[in-house]
Structure 1
Amino acid sequence: MGGFFLGIGGTAFAVGVPFVGAWFPPERRGLAIGVFGAGMGGTAISALTTVRLVKAHGMANPFLITPAVPAAYALVSALALRDAPGRTVPTESLGRRLAATLRLGVTWLASALYAVAFGGYVAFSVYLPTYLKTGYGLTQADAANRMAGFVLPAVVMRPVGGRLSDRVGPLRVLAVTLAVVLVAAFVQSFTPPLAPVGTIAFPAMAAALGAGSGAVFALVALLAPANKVGSVTGVVGAAGGLGGFVPPPVMGSLYGSYALGLVLLAVVAAAALAFTGTGVRHAVTRRGPSTEAVRARVGTRVPEPSP
């Protein structure tokens, strides 16, 4: 039941992407949405504070803070947030708009990439403490602190990924970040010493996943129709959640020997990298004359339409 209502709260992301994007021109939306997406740093705050709060004030304390913070922010939002000028109110029913969204190629392309990028981040933020305790014998508190050290690079790099997408194109950013994930996951599959190899591999992977997540939504902001950015974002965000759900049970089934799970992550990253260089690039080039505005920013040369 708690997960259901937290899922409803998660629609704030689907609302926020078009809300933020509407205030900025296309060439600045990647950075703006990346800064907005840095709100996933709440995971790091939780990792650093929850255990301490429980020890200091009892088990109920985090559960009291959890509803209080959103309630306070809801009040601030009601007083401070406004829609961008010129916003058009959709007239079609929700069902028809969702069906139209699911027919868009960009919805499925971005969902696949986000399931890897954000899904990988979610999976490790959930499972990394268990991995560190089992694989390296760390205490619960030390593992939670190191997990926060994994989350922070992802948070910092998300707006960086958006900004880089504005400058060099999301396809290039995605290619580089997926390549980093591939290498880092493969290296970590050998369970190297935590210092220095593991301490480098995990933050590098986190930074790449954060930047890649920012690049995915820069791609959505550029390629999705303006009146469907919100609905596309909702579907893509759900795909990221599903992508984060799969790896923890897989890693749990491999309890005590995680090499295969990390090799599988490397294989998935390699597949996503190949998909970015083929299917996603092809989808961009097929946009024809409508790609004139995004030609310089998607990281690929779009051919002129035939006479």
Structure 2
Amino acid sequence: MTTPTTTPSRSRRGARWIERWDPEDETFWHERGERIARRNLIYSVVSEHIGFSIWSLWSVMVLFMGPEYGVDPAGKFFLVAVPTVVGAVLRVPYTFAVARFGGRNWTVASALLLIVPSTAAALVMEPGTSYTTFMLVAALTGVGGGNFASSMTNINSFYPLRKKGWALGLNAGGGNIGVPVIQLVALLVIGTAGATRPRLVLAVYIPLIAVAALLAALKMDNLAPVSNDTGAAIDAAREPHTWIMSVLYIGTFGSFIGYSFAFGLVLQNQFDRTPLQAASLTFVGPLLGSLIRPVGGRLADRVGGARITLWNFAGMAAATVVVVHASAERSLPVFLAGFISLFVLSGLGNGSTYKMIPGIFQAQAVSRGLAGEEAAAYGRRLSGAAMGLIGAVGALGGLAINLAFRQSFMTTGSGTPAFVSFLAAYAVCGTLTWAVYLRKPSAQAPAGSPGTQRTPAYAEV
């Protein structure tokens, strides 16, 4: 006999499994679903927050690496880039781990995995360690980047389409705040104990990892209807919109994570800031970018993700022009204003682009003649699979940013050429958003005749 919608199955899978879940049913949603979804969202944010902190661990570890470590600026930029690429690759299997093991179960397991890179970093952070060892340990922190994909896929399944922008934005924003928080912890350590005590940062985070895993185990649920579906991954990979949205996500999230990892090094190398001075500034941009991400999702819910995304890329291009000017003139106040604006806009765009993903596949379902729960199920199936791919490709933008900075400083001693390349990238992303999702299709019939499309097909996604 089917277990009631609102209670977990105790006979087949255990107490933390919910056998039926229908968030599009408004009666179910208001009576029970919203409360359950909110609880899972809260503890998902906690775990993802710690995951982001560990993923960005080496963006602060390099601030502790003085001349005695024997690592030059180019080597440091490459060191912070390594976790980015590992995290990006892991996002694909992490996405499907939710369906294979259950959202709650995988949240617990993925949180506990964070102990490995944290402990390894505590063991090797001292002068005399080889650069190869540092690279291998930095690569381990990529598991924190994978947490984002599984967390977003899981929360996407809990919420109805009309609330996905806000929920996904809040989930991602709460996770993203892990970047500035670990930077603040590093600032506190450097300011009180000096730049020779990096292990104190790990002493803070290893207990927090255990707490996050315990809370997930006690408070979260698995959704039985979210079954493993490799066909969905294949279908999503064949869908052109998956790769278009991947490019847009490179421009938003790739910028956020790339700038977050590189900000301190840019300040040290372009403006000769000390580790303490750099640490006192690096957290501001990631913090504001994280806090505004839910706002991007909420705005997208109201006026359409494509519209917000387009204006966002225009703003990012304008902010980059300011940064290029300040970089060339070596004006730190103007540079900070432009760079922090980039963080804010990238956070806003993260929310709007992720809102677009379920909207696009829902629109496709409707265009194929599906309706009601059938259309909603189609949208959830494809958007959940696409999110893993889009998140993986988008995270590679962070790698590109750090490699661009590395090359720029190696060849010119300045970050200006890198910023010029980012400006061109934002122009491409803005053009792509307009051309695919906002441009009015050419009329196939005389104006005013039945069937003529007057608005873009995806304007509301």
TM-score (norm 1): 0.84
Aligned residue runs from structure 1 range 161-240, under 5 A:
161-190=296-325, 191=327, 192=329, 193-195=331-333, 197-224=334-361, 225-240=379-394
Identity of aligned residues (%): 24
Q: For 2:251, which of 91, 111, 116 is the aligned residue?
A: 116
> Which residue of 1 is the match for residue 217 of structure 2?
78
Aligned to 1:302, the other structure's residue is in SS state coil
Contact 2:153 2:388 in 1 (8 A): no
Q: What whole-Å deviation, never above 9, does each CA across 1:232-290 have from its counterpart, x for those lacking one?
A: 111111112211001212212221222211111111000100000013447x98xxxxx
Farther-moved stretch of structure 1 (224-233 vs 47-56): 47-56
- Given the alignment of the two structures, is residue 271 of structure 1 paired with residue 425 of structure 2, yes or no? no
1:221 alignment partner AA: P
Query: Which amino acid is 1:99 matched to?
Result: I
1:5 Cα deviation after fit: 4.3
Cα distance in 2 for residues equivalent to 1:9 and 1:166:
28
Which deviates the most, 61-70 or 135-144? 61-70
Match of residue 244 from structure 1: 398
Matched residue, 2:21: none
Report matched runs for 1:1-307 at 5 Å: 1-3=136-138, 5-38=140-173, 39-53=175-189, 56=193, 58-83=197-222, 88-90=225-227, 92=229, 94=230, 96-190=231-325, 191=327, 192=329, 193-195=331-333, 197-224=334-361, 225-255=379-409, 256-281=413-438, 301-302=456-457
TM-superposed deviation, 1:130: 1.6
Give the C-alpha shift of residue 301 in structure 1. 3.7
Which range moves more in the overlay, 47-56 or 219-228?
Answer: 47-56
Deviation, 1:157, is 1.3
Q: How far apart are residue 98 of structure 1 and its match? A: 2.8
**Alpha-carbon spacing, 1:240–1:144, altered in 2? closer, same or farther (3 Å):** farther
* 1:195-237 deviation line (CA, Å, top 9, x unaligned): 2x22321221111100101111101122232123332111111
CA pair 106-263 structure 1, distance change in 2 beyond 3 A:
same
Give the AA of the match of 2:179.
T
Separation in 2 of the partners of 1:11 and 1:134? Answer: 30
Structure 2 letter corresponding to 1:209: S
- Tell me, in whole angstroms, the C-alpha distance in 1 between the residues paired with 2:154 and 2:384: 8
In structure 2, stretches of 5+ residues that fail to align are 1-135, 362-378, 442-454
The whole-number CA distance in structure 2 between the counterparts of 1:182 and 1:141 is: 30
Task: Report what 1:288 is aligned to.
Answer: none
- 257 and 89 in structure 1: CA distance in 2 versus 1, 3 angstrom threshold: closer
Q: Structure 2 CA distance, aligned partners of 1:8 and 1:140?
A: 26
What SS does structure 1 have at the residue aligned with 2:283?
A: helix
Contact 1:174 1:215 (C-alpha < 8 Å) held by counterparts: yes
Aligned CA distance change for structure 1 residues 91 and 154 (closer, same or farther; 3 Å): closer
Quote the offset at 1:12 in angstroms. 2.6
Tell which structure's C-alpha radius of gyration is larger: 2
What is aligned with 1:292?
A: none
1:173 positional shift: 0.8
Q: Distance in 2 between matches of 1:91 and 1:128?
A: 39
The TM-score normalised by the length of structure 2 is 0.57
Using the TM superposition, name which of 126-135 and 27-36 deviates more: 126-135
- 3-state DSSP class of the match of 2:141? helix
5+ long unaligned stretches in structure 1 = 286-299
Deviations 1:67-121 (A, max 9, x none): 332221111011111246xx524254x4x44322211223212111111111111
1:4: how far off?
5.0
Asked if the contact 2:156/2:384 (under 8 Å) is kept, the reply is no
SS in 1 for 2:177: helix
Q: Where has structure 1 moved over 6 Å in runs of 4 or more?
A: none
SS in 1 for 2:184: helix
Change (3 A) 1:62 1:16: same
Higher relative contact order (CA 8 A, sep 6+): 1
**Residues 293 and 347 of structure 2 are in contact (CA less than 8 Å); yes or no, is this contact kept in structure 1?**
yes
RMSD: 2.3
Question: What amino acid sits opposite 1:152 in the alignment?
Answer: L
Distance 1:200 1:208 in 2: 12
Q: Assess, with a 3 A threshold, how the Cα gap between structure 1 residues 183 and 45 changes in structure 2: closer, same or farther.
A: same
Q: Is the 8 A contact 1:121 1:206 kept in 2?
A: yes
Question: Using a 3 Å threshold, how does the CA distance of structure 1 residues 37 and 89 change in structure 2: closer, same or farther?
Answer: closer
Q: 1:232 to 1:7 in 2, by over 3 A?
A: farther
CA distance in 2, matches of 1:201, 1:211: 15
In the aligned structure 1, how far is the partner of 2:253 from the partner of 2:187? 25
User: Following the alignment from structure 1 to structure 2, what is the Cα–Cα distance between the partners of residues 13 and 249?
Assistant: 22
